[in-house]
Amino acid sequence: MIRPYANSDQEKLVELLRLNTPASFAASEEPDFLEYLAHHSQNYFVVEDAAEIIGCGGFNWFDNGKIARLSWDIIHPAFQGKGIGRELTKFRVEQIKQNPAVRLLYVRTSQLVYPFYQKLGFTLEKTEKDFWAEGFDLYQMKLDII
């Protein structure tokens, strides 16, 4: 089940982030995640299985709704590779497509995760070494929404 984020989910989501550190996230990213949840989570969602939170991810609008960007995708390590991230991404793309003004969808990820988005049709636009933290490069990818 995918549902909107609630403030009461924060502790469980931080646990998910920590379970994916350092495999997918740098420890130094946790304060950024907390700031995001506090101030930018209007379109943030959690994935539940048997009433347990096993994933989360959101999106944000830019350029008056013409551009959207996926944000903070996190799946519990025990559930990775089972299609949950793909379903969460497809769910958010459908939410984004409800805005007729949107033309582009971006995701900013790392060299560790970018192949996942490639499989979903995103194309690599640029990279930047050590962007997120040392050893965590920026891989900015885009998908045309038509």
> Can you list the pairs that 47-55 forms with residues at least 24 positions away whose Cβ atoms lie under 8 Å?
47/1, 47/2, 47/75, 47/84, 47/87, 47/88, 48/1, 48/2, 48/3, 49/1, 49/79, 53/9, 53/12, 53/13, 53/16, 54/16, 54/78, 54/79, 54/84, 55/16, 55/79, 55/84, 55/85, 55/88
What would the pLDDT profile of 52-72 be if each residue is shown by its tens digit? Answer: 999 999 999 999 889 999 999
- pLDDT given at position 46: 98
What would the pLDDT profile of 3-28 be if each residue is shown by its tens digit? Answer: 999 999 999 999 999 999 999 999 99
What would the pLDDT profile of 26-49 be if each residue is shown by its tens digit? Answer: 999 999 999 999 999 999 999 999
Domain annotation for the chain: domains and CATH numbers: 2-105 (3.40.630.30)
Model confidence band, residue 112 (pLDDT cutoffs 50, 70, 90): confident
Model confidence band, residue 145 (pLDDT cutoffs 50, 70, 90): confident
What would the pLDDT profile of 113-140 be if each residue is shown by its tens digit? Answer: 899 999 999 999 999 999 888 988 999 9
Residue 77: both structure tokens together? 């390590």
